[in-house]
């Protein structure tokens, strides 16, 4: 429940320096010093976190290896793991407001979204996998007489998880929930600009009874801590959400070490396709705006390319611009705010550079395009709509990860499909139409892991999230996520 008095008290409260959580204990860096945590709300130093070293990562991996090999978690009955995970989810729920405010101060997401998408989502995810773990069994193969074929599902081992800054608890839980429920142990590396809430929920996991060494958190730079995890010979599975460039380095590290399984979610340039027969244009405008501008566009499945049938283009863009201009951008701890801060100065500069390039190419900036609220010291950007964008423009092909929408017209269904599929990415998409046959055709033809119809976003835990092409491999969410963290073992028995 949102309590404005409590939120203000939490906003002003000092934040203790963060720490690693290794082998059941809080630890500082072994020699790397500390990193400042800059709040995107006002640019102030919020606290510090350890600048983790390779040695820190190796100590955490060693703790996870021992915890897996001695069976303190992997050999615990699924029903017992379930009890601990459910208690953990309860503790996250009990501390939801504190976690949400801490996360907003750390990464800038608006509080209305943060409450639901961060602690709320994390608790629900952990609960989902906890409830499932004692209901997933092995198989008896349909063999001929005289033989018995059994297929066992066993925990894969030590998991290295590297998660981004936009939704650290939600995405972190997408990895931690199924990995821990399956019986794996984990070394988690948060993003440098969003570590605080993941440190805190690791502490809550210990409070819930998770054995020492089962979940370890090491903060620091990706080039140091992430690299050490990726190259470790004792990490069996590596899961990552982030940039394509980093994903490639992780694959290389796997190839150069122990060929650990690597599952990547690498973002997208998702097309949001509006046909002239859209049943409710006002709803399409509102949902399309939220699909790109909420959390300042810092969403992997953001509908960052708007494809509009030409006869509808000008009217739709006009309505969309009006809606964008009405969105309140500002203090993310104000519940009236619709879009909070950009995560960092670096990300803000990258967003603005995309807009400047489009402007230099003669594209029209319909609304936005600028940094705003500079007097706060924070990192804020106006919702931005760019028209006249060509399919080959960088703005139409590369992920901005900010509140910047590229608008492209189309004339035919075939042209819409060609534009939609004309990037290296394939994470999400949407189609707005009243024609049921067209909707099914578009779902089939668009190369994406998720295709929405007459909506954008909102898919729950019952369905998988994963991409095709350079949006990655493997799936988060749903029961399919267990597949990343379980090994299949065949027992072939002669009777």
Residues assigned a catalytic role: 265
Strand ranges (E), 55-146: 139-140
* DSSP letter, residue 18: P
CA distance 187 to 434: 47
Angle made by CA atoms 451, 309, 300, in degrees to the nearest 5: 35
Q: CA torsion sign, 217 to 221 to 222 to 225?
A: negative
Q: What is the DSSP annotation of 229-281?
A: HHH-TT--EEEEES-HHHHHHHHHHHHHTT--EEEEE-----EEEE-TT-S-H
Query: What letter does residue 472 receive in the DSSP assignment?
Result: B
Q: Is 282 exposed, middle or buried (0-12, 13-18, 19+ CB in 10 A)?
A: exposed
Q: How far apart are CA 426 and CA 448, in angstroms?
A: 4
Q: Cα–Cα distance between 39 and 165 in angstroms, integer?
A: 13
**Antiparallel, parallel or unpaired: β 147-155 and 139-140:** antiparallel
Nearest to 108 by CA among 442, 373, 476: 373
List the beta strands (DSSP E) in 20-93. 20-22, 25-27, 34-38, 45-50
Q: Alpha carbon 223 to chain centroid distance?
A: 20
DSSP, collapsed to helix, strand or coil, labels residue 160 as: strand
| CA atoms lying within 13 Å on the CB side of residue 9 | 7
């Amino acid at each position: 429940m949102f309590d404005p008095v409590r939120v203000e008290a939490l906003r002003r409260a000092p934040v203790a320096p963060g720490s690693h959580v290794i082998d059941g204990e809080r630890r500082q860096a072994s020699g790397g010093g500390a990193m400042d945590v800059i709040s995107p709300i006002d640019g102030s130093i919020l606290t510090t976190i350890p600048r983790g070293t390779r040695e820190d990562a190796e100590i955490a991996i060693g703790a996870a290896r021992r915890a897996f090999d001695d069976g303190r978690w992997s050999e615990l009955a699924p029903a017992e793991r379930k009890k601990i995970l459910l208690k953990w989810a309860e503790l996250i729920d009990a501390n939801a407001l504190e976690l949400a405010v801490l996360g907003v101060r750390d990464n800038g997401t608006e509080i209305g979204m943060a409450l639901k998408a961060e602690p709320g989502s994390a608790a629900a995810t952990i609960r989902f996998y906890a409830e499932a773990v004692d209901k997933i069994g092995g198989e008896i193969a349909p063999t001929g007489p005289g033989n018995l074929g059994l297929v066992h599902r066993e925990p894969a081992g030590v998991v290295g998880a590297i998660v981004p800054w936009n939704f650290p608890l939600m995405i972190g839980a997408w990895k931690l929930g199924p990995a821990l429920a399956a019986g794996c142990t984990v070394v988690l590396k948060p993003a440098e600009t969003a570590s605080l809430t993941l440190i805190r929920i690791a502490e809550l996991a210990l409070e819930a009874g998770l054995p020492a060494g089962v979940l370890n958190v090491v903060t620091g730079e990706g080039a140091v801590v992430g690299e050490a995890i990726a190259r470790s010979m004792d990490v069996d599975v590596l899961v990552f959400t982030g940039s394509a460039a980093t994903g490639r380095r992780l694959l290389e590290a796997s190839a150069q070490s122990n060929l650990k399984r690597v599952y990547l979610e690498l973002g997208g340039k998702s097309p949001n396709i509006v046909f002239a027969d859209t049943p409710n244009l006002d709803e399409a405008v509102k949902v399309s705006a939220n699909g790109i501008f909420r959390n300042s566009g810092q969403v992997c499945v953001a509908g960052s390319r708007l494809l509009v049938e030409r006869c509808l283009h000008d009217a739709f863009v006009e309505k969309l611009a009006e809606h964008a201009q009405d969105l309140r951008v500002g203090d993310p701890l104000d519940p009236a705010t619709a879009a909070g801060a950009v995560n960092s100065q670096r990300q803000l500069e990258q967003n603005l550079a995309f807009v400047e390039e489009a402007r230099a190419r003669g594209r029209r900036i319909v609304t936005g395009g600028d940094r705003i609220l500079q007097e706060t010291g924070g990192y804020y950007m106006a919702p931005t709509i760019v028209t006249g964008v060509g399919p080959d423009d960088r703005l139409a092909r590369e992920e901005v990860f900010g509140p910047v929408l590229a608008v492209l017209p189309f004339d035919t269904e075939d042209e819409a499909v060609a534009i939609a599929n004309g990037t290296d990415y394939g994470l999400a998409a949407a189609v707005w139409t009243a024609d049921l046959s067209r909707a099914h055709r578009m779902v089939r033809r668009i190369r994406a892991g998720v295709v929405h119809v007459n909506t954008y976003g909102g898919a729950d835990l019952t369905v998988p999230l994963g991409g095709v092409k350079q949006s990655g491999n493997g799936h988060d969410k749903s029961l399919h996520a267990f597949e990343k963290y379980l090994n299949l073992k065949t027992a072939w028995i002669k009777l």
